[in-house]
Amino acid sequence: MNLTDHERIDRAWRQVRGVHDPELPFLTVEEMGMIRGVRIHEKHLLVSLTPTYSGCPATDVISEDVLAAVQAVEPDAQVEVVLSPAWTTDWILDSAKEKMRTHGIAPPEKGQADRAFLTGKGKVVPCPRCGTDNTHMVSAFGSTACKAHFSCKECLEPFEHFKCI
C-alpha cells in the first residue's frame, strides 16, 4: 500500500499525539507545544521536537518515546531535537493549561513575565485549587527547574507554578 506524503504525515501526527510528557503524564508532548512539526525529509518522516529547556533531563526520554511512536507506523522515521527558536510557554495549548489547574499546578499565563521568580516580590499566582490571589512563593524552584513552589494563604494548600518563559 503506497501512501501519499500527506497520509504519512497524518499517520505520524496521530502517533505523536499519544506521547505523554514524562514529568506531567496527564499532558501530551503536543499539548506542551514541544512538537514543532512532522515533515518528509529525504523520503523519511522527520519529527521536529523542541524541549521545554535546552538542558531538560527528560529530552532523551521524550525523543525516544516520540521515535518509538512514529516508528510503529514507519520504521525509518527519525526525530530531530531543535533548540532554535527556543521553546516558550506561549506554545502550551489552552487545554493543557486547564489540565494543569485540574491537577493542582498553576499554569503560566500568556505574556506574564517571570522577572520576579527569584524573589517572589510582585509575583501573583492564583491558587489552582481555590482561585485566590492570596498566595506566596515558598521557593523559586519546585520539583523541576521549570516550576516554582507556592503556598495558598486561603486554603493552605501547597502548589507548583509552571514558570512563564
Q: Compute, in degrees rounded to 10, the torsion defined by CA atoms 2, 3, 5, 11.
A: -140
Question: Which domains are seen in the chain, by residue range?
Answer: 5-87 (3.30.300.130), 92-162 (no CATH)
Residue matched to cell numbers 514524562: 22
Q: What is the pLDDT of residue 112?
A: 55
Taking the chain (165 residues) in consecutive chunks of 10 residues, what is each chunk's mean pLDDT?
Answer: 90 97 96 97 96 89 98 96 94 96 91 57 87 92 86 96 86
**What is the b/e burial string over 11-48, where b = at least 16 CB atoms within 10 angstroms of the residue's CB?**
bbeebbeebbbebbeebbbbbbbbbbebeeeeeebbbb
pLDDT at 118: 56
> Contact at 8 Å (CB) between 70 and 19?
no
For the CA atoms of 124, 158, 27, 107, the dihedral, rounded to the nearest 10 degrees, stands at 0
Classify residue 48 as left (phi > 0), alpha (psi -120 to 50) or beta.
beta
Quick check: pTM over 0.75? yes
